[in-house]
Structure 1
Amino acid sequence: MNLHELLREREAAGEPIRVGLIGSGRFGTMYLSQARNIPGVRVVGVADINVARARESFERVGWPAEDIVDSVADLAEGKTAVVADAMELIAADLDVIVEATGNPVVGITHALAAIESGKHVMMVTVEADALAGPALARRAKDAGVVYALAYGDQPALIIELVDWARTSGFDVVCAGKGAKYLPGYHQMNPDNVWDHWEFSDELKASGQLNPYMHTSFRDGTKAAIEMAAVANAAQLRPGENGLTFSPGDLEEIATVCRPQAAGGALEHEGTVDVMSSYTREGDWIPHNTQEGVFVVVKATNEYVSSCFTEYPWHPDPSGQYAALYRPYHYVGLELNMSIANAVLRGVATGAATGFYADVVATAKKDLAAGEVLDGEGGFAVYGKLVPAQTSVDKGYLPVALAHHVPLKNAVAQGQSVRWDDVEIDDSLAQALELRRETEALVAGS
């Protein structure tokens, strides 16, 4: 279906898709940079607690200052509101809310409010999806709106590849992505994070980079969160030992991401994984998979296996496994694929269909009773991917709720934190409600 043509029809009819964006960080700014060039779409407003930052984002992408107003109530044709209160934006006359705050607890609050007011939700804050995506997706379905992972981020692109594979008649062996990983990364913290990035010294010292966020990108937390979103949408089950981060180049995807019984790295078929762009010795792998996404499929019969080997598809040595690979993701520049699919086709670019995978807080070092956990990308814990059933059975604490919570019990390095080990703040009531709904879905997964 030609989405662009459908968008042009909306433009011609004077009925553009009305979009509200919450959060004007990198992802949101990238979307704003494209929005004025897309027919049939109108950004009605942007909400950010830092209004000045939001205005800077508009300026950065060349948005005319005269087209920006300070209140949703002041909106007129061609104007866009910038407000501090996300609820003011959610209450406006909109079709879609894009949740891009990066805060999982706040993201759940915004998504629920949008769903309850009959708006589609594009969830950029994948941390919220890993925490309670199955419950959010179910509530959206019951409300007759679309809840979707944001196209442009890797999970939605991976899910698209999974859909291609299954629609083509293949069984999915593994779905995944590439990332930089070395032994010891799980112990990385904001004090040493810049030793593991290739940014210039000037940029590192500029204050533009968030050391906590970039720690989560390298210590395995972000990878686990993204793979949980994929697993829950595509009904894939992670291995008990989490992601392997096995090294390899793009020609070796099908060789690495096949079961151990076949010579690969996986505990079983029908799973998710991440490949490292570095050897275990710390050498950069040429033609690696970093920034890319992939799906590995298995030949359904001998004829298909012969096709794998006759074409330059880089199958594994047995000719039984092959991969489809996309080398890049364009982040917020691609977001309108989610918006257009939701409004024009009623289709989500990825949404949880059950609870198959979880990301649990795991100690980076020996933690003593009384210490306060500092969440994703901090000094205390990283996020480890585990099967949802394992997480529920063992009472593990999701990493998204490991922010500013004190420990009641000591936790040894490498051990996952349990609900019983922490004191949970009553202010998390809404997130906890959605989390309990999510955990209840594990029996039906």
Structure 2
Amino acid sequence: MILSSPTRRPSPIRILVTGANGGYGRTLLDQLRRLPDMTATQLVDPDVAGVSALLVDLGVTDEGIATPSSPAETAAALAEGRIAVLADGSAIDWSGVDVLVEATGRIDAGHAYASTALENGTHVVMVSKEIDSVAGVALSRTAREKGLRYLPGDGDQPANLLRLVAWVLECGFDIVALGKSSEYDLVFDPESGTVDQNGVTVDAPGLAGLLGLGDDPLATVAARASQVAALKRSAAADYCEMNVVSLYTGAGVDVESMHYPVARPAELADMFASRADGGLLDRTGVVDVFSMLRLPGEASFAGGVFVIVRTGDPVTWETLRGKGHVVSRDGRYACIFWPYHYMGVETPLTVAAAVDGTSVVSEPRQHTVLAARASADLPAGTTFRVEGHHHEIAGVAPVILQPDAGEIAPYYLLSGATLRADVVAGALVRFADLDGVPEGAAAAYRTGLALGR
């Protein structure tokens, strides 16, 4: 039947997933059940019981799960057709892996898994954007030298945006800006005059008169922002994802904190336009993020991605506007977008591209660095921890900068490190300020930096 998943290979691609327990791992494992030419054979996570319960929830029998403690035991379990659930990397059977999907989100562990995979002739699909932002350039170079692939994983915004950019460039467009929506929409209820952002509700009655851009779009956007000022709209994850996109595209930022306009999708071509044309941007070819404003019942942008392009023939673009495409009011810009990211549901696309060598992703360079700027005076002895769903670090704000000669410490290299000296509010955290930086990932960052931009 045409509408069924094709079997493309004589034997399935064998997938190792690190950081398997959680929402991402579940979406990937569930999707792999539908694909006869791919199979997750080894799953690594400290929560062995949690991963085992997840597998049972997805229909795997208890007899189909093994919890070996050595590579030999793992190999034996795989030979029996069982899924090996491992507490750490010490029991991985690398001879039974074709592709590593790295999803720990932890700099030290994830970098070690990716490096070891490449040493063992295994392709790497990187879902941990934190590791990509620090060590992606060096890991990609190592993979190429070994005839392997190192790719950002489809299903998260960086890889999705890179695929969209490849399509846009192949069509011949000139890109002005590229980016994504922030993770959580601003849902405005005109009846109550409130805005809900992922369960947090604030009063914002003034938004009722700000649903259109009006005669002064920038003033409108500023007024919207003031209405929702009580909400935290930016996240370290957003900055990290846009930093990763910059590594693969060369795009910079217009301002280090990005603009984050409160906007509706139909307005993006007006917002991310040159300031000379009434938009936000003093420079073009940049990454950015917007906070989606919508009404209850309206479709979400779903953390999707967009590219702003310059248009050409006015008649052509008026025709496209009439078909529902997003074109700026002056007709100079258009927004091309994919309003989705489906997490692990899409990652098999990257797994296949890694094995087949069909990826459209270019080799990354350290065009920007995700840095940490102190948001308050930080005394010596402060220890940094990556915490929460968005992997934030208390006491510092993420910013995207052009890299220096290596003095600035990347944001996620602060994980577990301690300040050896005071850092005043507003200052960047530098390597010289820190003790306990993860050595392997730090060395990879410097290696990538030395490759140039």
Please give the alpha-carbon distance, in whole angstroms, between the structure 1 residues aligned to 2:268 and 2:146.
40
Structure 2 gap ranges (5+): 69-73, 186-195, 202-231
Matching residue of 2:192: none
- In the alignment, is residue 55 of structure 1 matched against residue 62 of structure 2? no
The equivalent of 1:117 in structure 2 is 120
The answer to whether structure 1 residue 327 and structure 2 residue 339 are counterparts is: yes
What residue is the counterpart of 2:277 in the other structure?
Answer: 262
Residues 394/354 of structure 1: CA separation in 2 closer, same or farther (3 Å cut): closer
Equivalent residue, structure 1, for 2:328? 316
Confirm whether residue 154 of structure 1 aligns to residue 151 of structure 2.
no
- Provide the secondary structure at the position in 2 that maps to 1:134: helix
Rg (Cα) greater in structure: 2
Query: 2:81 matched to which residue of 1?
Result: 78
Counterpart residue type for residue 299 of structure 1: T
Matched, 1:20 2:20: no
What does 1:354-369 align with in structure 2 at a 5 Å threshold?
A: 354-369=365-380
Q: What is the correspondence of 1:147-296 to structure 2 with a 5 Å cutoff?
A: 147-179=150-182, 197-198=198-199, 219-277=234-292, 289=301, 291-296=303-308
In structure 1, what is the equivalent of residue 444 of structure 2? 434
- Residues 319 and 334 of structure 1: CA distance in aligned 2, closer, same or farther (over 3 Å): same
Which residue in 2 is equivalent to 1:130? Answer: 133
Contact 2:326 2:336 in 1 (8 A): no
Aligned with 2:341: secondary structure? coil
Query: How far apart in 2 are the matches of 1:285 and 1:401?
Result: 41
Aligned match of 1:189: none
Higher mean displacement: 306-315 or 413-422: 306-315
- Shift in Å, 1:220: 2.4
Alignment pair present for 1:406 and 2:403: no
Per-residue deviation, residues 357-412 of structure 1 (Å, max 9, x unmatched): 2211122322123322234423222321223xxx3258321111112222233323
| Counterpart-to-counterpart distance in 1, 2:106 and 2:252 | 26
In the TM superposition, what whole-angstrom CA distance separates every residue of 1:397-437 from its partner, at most 9, and x where no partner exists?
11111122222333233332122222244xx2211210101
- Matched to 1:18, the amino acid is R
Cα shift at 1:295: 1.1
Q: Which amino acid aligns with 2:440?
A: Q
The amino acid across from 2:310 in the alignment is K
SS of residue paired to 2:359:
coil
Distance 1:285 1:435 in 2: 44
- Provide the residue aligned with 1:346 in structure 2: 357
Q: TM-score, normalised by structure 1?
A: 0.82
The letter for the 2-side match of 1:168 is C
Tell me by how many angstroms 1:269 deviates.
1.4
Residue 400 of structure 2 is matched in structure 1 by 385
Structure richer in helix, relative to its length: 1
SS at match of 2:370: strand
Q: Is the 8 A contact 1:358 1:386 kept in 2?
A: yes
Q: Which residue of 2 aligns with 1:211?
A: none
**More divergent stretch after superposition (408-417 vs 34-43):** 408-417
**Deviation of the 1:105 alpha carbon:** 2.2
The structure 2 residue matched to 1:30, chosen from 27, 30, 35, is 27
Specify whether residues 362 and 290 from structure 1 end up closer, same or farther in structure 2 by C-alpha distance, changes over 3 A only.
farther
- One-letter identity of the residue aligned with 2:19: G
Q: Distance in 1 between matches of 2:406 and 2:348?
A: 40
Superposed CA RMSD: 2.8
Hey, what's the Cα distance between the residues in 1 that align with 2:241 and 2:423?
Answer: 25
Q: Deviations over 1:31-70 (max 9, x none)?
A: 1112122111122111112211211221232222221122
Q: Percent identity?
A: 30
Quick check: 1:153–1:330 contact (8 Å CA) kept in 2? yes
Provide, for residues 236-291 of structure 1, a one-character-per-residue CA deviation record: whole Å limited to 9, x for no partner.
12234331111110101111112223221223111110001259xxx999666452
SS of match in other structure, 1:255: helix
Distance 1:27 1:298 in 2: 35
Find the residue that maps to 2:79 and give its secondary structure. coil
Contact 1:259–1:269 (CA under 8 A) maintained in structure 2: yes
Contact 2:378 2:422 in 1 (8 A): yes
Offset at residue 112 of structure 1 (A)? 0.9
SS of the equivalent of 1:223 reads: helix
Partner SS state of residue 372, structure 1: coil
The worse-fitting range, judged by mean Cα deviation, of 158-167 and 217-226 is 217-226
Alignment partners' CA distance in 2, 1:412 and 1:288:
40
Deviations 1:84-131 (A, max 9, x none): 232432523221011111102221111111111111101111100011
Q: Give 1:304 shift.
A: 5.2
Q: Give the distance between the partners of 1:228 and 1:42, measured in 2 at CA.
A: 31
TM-score by length of 2: 0.81
Aligned 8 A contact 2:182 2:234 in 1: no
Q: Secondary structure at the match of 2:378?
A: coil
- 1:46 — aligned with what? 43
Quote the offset at 1:30 in angstroms.
Answer: 1.3
Match of 1:337 in 2: 349
How has the CA–CA distance of structure 1 residues 252 and 109 changed in structure 2, closer, same or farther, with 3 Å as cutoff? same
Take 1:118 and 1:434, find their aligned partners in 2: how far apart are those partners?
19
Does the aligned pair in 1 maintain the 2:18–2:102 contact within 8 Å? yes
Aligned-partner Cα distance in 2 for 1:392–1:291: 31
